[in-house]
Structure 1
Amino acid sequence: MGCFFSKTTPGAGRETAPPSRPSQPSGEGGGVGRCWSRGGGKEEKRRRKGEIAVAVAAAMGKPKPGHALRAQLGWPEWLSAAAGDAIRGWTPRTANSFEKIDKIGQGTYSNVYKARDLMSGRIVALKKVRFDNLEADSVKFMAREILVLRSLDHPNVIKLEGLVTSRMSTSLYLVFTYMEHDLAGLVAAPGIKFTESQIKCYMKQLLLGLEHCHNQGVLHRDIKGSNLLIDNEGVLKIADFGLAAFYDPTNGQPMTSRVVTLWYRPPELLLGATFYGVGVDLWSAGCILAEMLAGKPILPGRTEVEQLHKIFKLCGSPSEEYWKKSKLPHATIFKPQQPYKRCIAEKFSDFPPSALSLVETLLSVDPDERGNATAALNSEFFTTKPYACEPSSLPKFPPSKELDVKLREEETRRKRSSSRRGNVGDDKKRTQAHDQGIRAFPAPEANAELRPNINRRRRMPRPNTKSKSEKFPPPHQDGSIGFPLNTSRKDPVSFGVPDTSVASFRVKPSSPGISHSGFLGNPIAARRRTAGKAAVA
């Protein structure tokens, strides 16, 4: 049985607390319909999944009030038991009223599809999330994302329109408004160069969306180009709240520092901060502004140590007063031996003066000096000519997302490799010239939305040793298990060398007499040489 939930009353998306009484099932299918899956499936497979769902629900204890009614409406046991508050007040609809059109995004635990609502004819985006073994903590993380989305209602924040699920499936589909582009895809698209007025338009919408999120007590914690969606009318919407969290500035609670994609992660998180606020999103917004002006990412680090190195070289190292007041867990580890001078003005001397001033503010090493979204909106950048243009006046671009750019680059590489001619030297020159024109994106291990990267240091002991899935802490323990404090890092990290990739974490050798450093040669040739030496001996 598939189901889709929708708002029962106008303005429900603005409610911080969902209504206490769910509405009756709508007449649109009554919540009963064909399960939307890859195939029909066998009865035995369905029975086993049903048993797993019942076991998970039983492990969670006594059902909460309203659980039975939600089950009657079509919600599966595993979702109703773990995410009852998130789905309260919504009515289901059949899943077979959607038709997949194309895959438009992908991640480790989720895929995004373009689809058609067969009842309204509208085009929507479906985000499919998979839950391995129906682990309750993983479901709770998704429930938090749903609760966050339901608490937000703003033109520049993506709108959650419903959920599709099945009693016999461990997958969940989130239904969103379809957007034709994302900012990363547009910035990387060949031939697209934003004017100052257009950049102001996009930045204004981003800051308005962040202002609303922060006023509602929500930190996004993963602002980057691919999470800023744009439709054909030029409207920008902040999307992907999978790492978002509620926060109270008057009553700070610890949160994890393992958030925000590496290139857009502020220095305090790289230094292990667990108490932070709106400054983390504003730093990311500053990176986005500078990226649009420069036409490329400004801090493309490959590791956390290298990322801090790049930040300190551009933005200057923190003052002694900041080191003392912040009391960051890894201050003694990552503090540079010699202070760096701030050089943003010299590095970006071709930026318009008002834009440079805002970049300077948003990329302050001290988060207290970044201000807030409202202050940024009132800055000289938006109050001087050329003013931000209207979204409707923006050019109509062909559909372009980060995934499209990656696919184009892969196709270009395939064509280049299949048509290689001439000598090796010429081929190397062509390869280097081509690679210089390719738009860089964060490596998969640097993306905050990929859960292995975020959660590999948030694992909890597994009660079932046979399970291959990871245990994640519940949302209320979000910050208590961030960067591993017991990591062996006795020696200070030197930042006195040029930009080179260095490992973020020290690896203990498997045996004291073997070195794993140095050039990574051909392992097959190495084995042959070893075998040859053994034969001679």
Structure 2
Amino acid sequence: MRAQSKSGSRNTEANKNKASTGRVSFEVSGTTFTVDDCYSYIKQIGHGAYGVVVSALNKKLNTKVAIKKVPKAFEDLIDAKRILREIRLLSFFDHENIIALVDLQRPPARTGFEDIYIITDLMETDLHRVIYSRQDLSDEHIQYFIYQMMRGLLFMHSADVIHRDLKPSNLLLNKNCDLKICDLGLARGFDNSKDENLTEYVVTRWYRAPEVILNASHYTKALDIWGAGCVFAEVLGRSPLFPGEDYLDQVQRIIAVLGMPSQEDMSFIGNESAKRYIKSLPKRQRVPWSTLYPKANPVALDLLNKMLVFNPNKRFTVEECLAHPYFEGLHNPDEEPVSSVKFDWSFDDFTPTKPLLQSMIYDDSLKYHPL
């Protein structure tokens, strides 16, 4: 009997069981994958609350993919609705800098199933791992990463989609430094905010824009520019810019760098108690970006200064960011496509039930596996 590997995986050809239905099963860290037999397991590449991600070879196409298994996907209906939303968005987007959905495993029946298998492009790493590696990052590296992020964001925003959760771990990379935005489960249209407590669910705290922390009732595309700016700063400094311990600490950290906002720059805050809280804080002067990032390209810092602006109405748009001198030599409007159609959010206006969500996921899988 062969011993298990350190990862707890028993992923050898010997223990792969080919099912009569044209499926193959393998076990990874205690999780059993059952997928179409065109896929050959390579290795585990991720593990988290959402499930397990593996790399695999599509033997028919001779291409490598990432397979994410979401087990017991319908236990939390809000989470399941997010998964559906991500599937719809990934199916809609066709852009070099946005991860592509290449397959959605067809469930065994329209309802009654528990697991979802999402198959996407395979990327080798993510920006979080690169930032915290010992790898040297030149200004050219940084420029190229941020340019690609903004290029993907341009396409999203042109389709009336706000990502809402930009952070280094949601920016995937390969060895050629190609970048793709992933994890669109929190994405929304501009006023589509009906079914969740947005203060809690929008954007990992360290990347939350002031309007999210302080208002949480109406968002614009400027929310993503703030998140992108936080990513930019983290690449420049190799550490997070605003690592708040809670939302009050988050506000204090932002003001400690940007300085106390003016009355005008707090005009977007609808919550009077939030305004009073800010006014009660010690007066802080703005810290120059060159003090925080003395080795950075001054042109990069000028762009950062246009992105990390307290008042969302004064932040650069994605179009203005791309036209900034920092991207000279990369920026070319003819090679920065926008979406010809807006994403249709009408499907999202429903009260989720387990059978309804299962049926919708099943229907989506038929695009990849017609009956």
- What is the TM-score normalised by the length of structure 1? 0.52
Residue 176 of structure 1: aligned partner: 120
Do the aligned residues in 1 keep the contact of 2:269 with 2:275 (CA within 8 Å)? no
Deviates more, 1:209-218 or 1:141-150: 141-150
Query: Would you say 1:365 and 2:310 are equivalent positions?
Result: yes
The separation in 2 between residues aligned to 1:181 and 1:94, in whole angstroms, is: 24
Query: Structure 2 matches for 1:207-222, cutoff 5 A?
Result: 207-222=150-165
Q: Distance in 2 between matches of 1:132 and 1:285?
A: 30
Q: Does 1:351 align with 2:331?
A: no
4+ long deviations beyond 6 Å: none
Query: 2: distance between equivalents of 1:336 and 1:128?
Result: 47
**Per-residue deviation, 1:349:** 4.2
CA distance in 1, matches of 2:273, 2:236: 32
Q: What is the alpha-carbon distance in structure 1 between the residues aligned to residue 129 and residue 252 of structure 2? A: 27
Q: Is 1:295–2:242 an aligned residue pair?
A: no
Cα 1:136/1:349, change in 2 over 3 Å: closer
For residue 335 of structure 1, give the secondary structure of its aligned residue in structure 2. helix
The aligned residue for residue 251 of structure 2 is: 308
Q: Deviations over 1:74-112 (max 9, x none)?
A: xxxxxxxxxxxxxxxxxxx96232232222122212322
Displacement of 1:194: 1.2
Which structure has the greater CA radius of gyration? 1
CA distance 1:208–1:218, shift in 2 (3 Å): same
CA spacing shift, 1:38–1:231, aligned 2, 3 Å: closer
Letter in 2 for 1:172: I
8 A contact 2:215–2:269 mirrored in 1:
no
Q: Return the alpha-carbon distance in structure 1 between the equivalents of residues 157 and 56 of structure 2.
A: 31
CA contact (8 A) 1:291 1:298 kept: yes
Aligned amino acid, residue 260 of structure 2: S
- Does the 8 A contact of 2:215 with 2:270 survive in 1? no
Kept in 2, the 8 Å contact 1:354–1:381? The answer is yes
Counterpart in the other structure of 1:327: 270
State the Cα deviation string for residues 358-390 of structure 1 (Å, max 9, x = none): 11111000111112111001112123xxx559x
**Residues 50-61 of structure 1: pairs in structure 2 closer than 5 A:** none
CA distance in structure 1 between the partners assigned to 2:218 and 2:137 by the alignment = 36
SS, match of residue 267 in structure 2: helix
- 1:263 and 2:252 equivalent? no
Root-mean-square deviation (CA, aligned residues, Å) is: 2.8
Amino acid of the structure 1 residue aligned with 2:105: V
Query: Which of residues 78, 94, 99 in structure 2 aligns to 1:158?
Result: 99
Deviates most, 345-354 or 212-221: 345-354
Taking structure 2 as the reference length, the TM-score comes to: 0.74
Write the letter of the residue equivalent to 2:70: V
- Structure 1 residues 150, 173: closer, same or farther in 2, change over 3 A? same
Amino acid at match of 1:293: L
Contact 1:193–1:295 under 8 Å retained in 2: no
What is the correspondence of 1:124-523 to structure 2 with a 5 Å cutoff? 124-131=65-72, 137-167=78-108, 169-190=113-134, 192-247=135-190, 252-254=191-193, 256-257=198-199, 258-328=201-271, 331-332=274-275, 334-337=277-280, 338-345=282-289, 346-383=291-328, 387=329, 475-476=348-349
1:24-39 counterparts in 2 under 5 A?
32-34=21-23, 36=25
**Deviation at residue 164 of structure 1 after TM alignment:** 1.6
Cα deviation for residue 159 of structure 1 reads: 0.6
Any gaps of 5 or more consecutive residues in structure 2?
1-19, 29-33, 332-346, 352-371
Please tell me the residue identity of whatever aligns with 1:147: R
Aligned equivalents of 1:243, 1:195: Cα separation in 2: 32
SS at match of 2:137: coil
Length, aligned pairs only: 303
Unpaired segments ≥5 residues, structure 1: 1-30, 40-92, 390-473, 479-537
Deviations 1:486-521 (A, max 9, x none): xxxxxxxxxxxxxxxxxxxxxxxxxxxxxxxxxxxx
1:106 corresponds to: 47
Q: Percent identity?
A: 30
**1-structure distance, mates of 2:292, 2:301:** 10
Residues 159/117 of structure 1: CA separation in 2 closer, same or farther (3 Å cut): same
2:304 is aligned with what amino acid? V
Contact 1:197 1:388 in 2 (8 A): no
